[in-house]
């Protein structure tokens, strides 16, 4: 699935009301680990049809970062039916993301 850029403006439509589970990647442009992790997230999104993938820039959408209590980036949050079901802090490889999603769906 294509990566969606999530902000307060499209959060309800893309995440809260989504028919699919959503994997949110909280990141910042200045964050080196986030930049390194971006390719892994993109590769995961290209391979999966089980979840939507959304990226939330914490500098542009600090309100969403606060709502989810994100204190460190990168952070992945898995949302199903509008509710957080799992969280993972830190980067990793595509296999790590796949394992995280599979274990929590």
Task: Find the DSSP H helices in the chain.
Answer: 11, 32-47, 62-67, 94-104
Q: Catalytic residue, from 6, 15, 24, 34: name it.
A: 34
Please tell me the distance from the alpha carbon of residue 15 to that of residue 27, in angstroms, as a whole number: 17
Q: What is the DSSP letter of 2?
A: P
Q: Catalytic residue, from 15, 31, 76, 97: name it.
A: 31
Q: 52 — phi, psi (to 5°)?
A: -85, 150
31 annotated active-site: yes
24 annotated active-site: no
- Give the active site residues: 31, 34
């Amino acid at each position: 699935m294509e990566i969606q850029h999530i902000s307060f403006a499209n959060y309800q439509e893309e995440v809260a009301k989504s028919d699919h589970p959503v994997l949110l990647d909280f990141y910042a442009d200045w964050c080196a680990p986030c930049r390194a992790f971006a390719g892994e997230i993109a590769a995961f999104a290209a391979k999966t049809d089980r979840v939507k993938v959304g990226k939330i820039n914490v500098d542009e959408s600090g309100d969403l970062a606060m709502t989810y209590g994100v204190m460190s980036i990168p952070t992945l949050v898995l949302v199903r039916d509008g509710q957080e079901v799992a969280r993972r802090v830190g980067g990793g490889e595509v296999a790590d993301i796949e394992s995280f999603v599979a274990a929590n769906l």
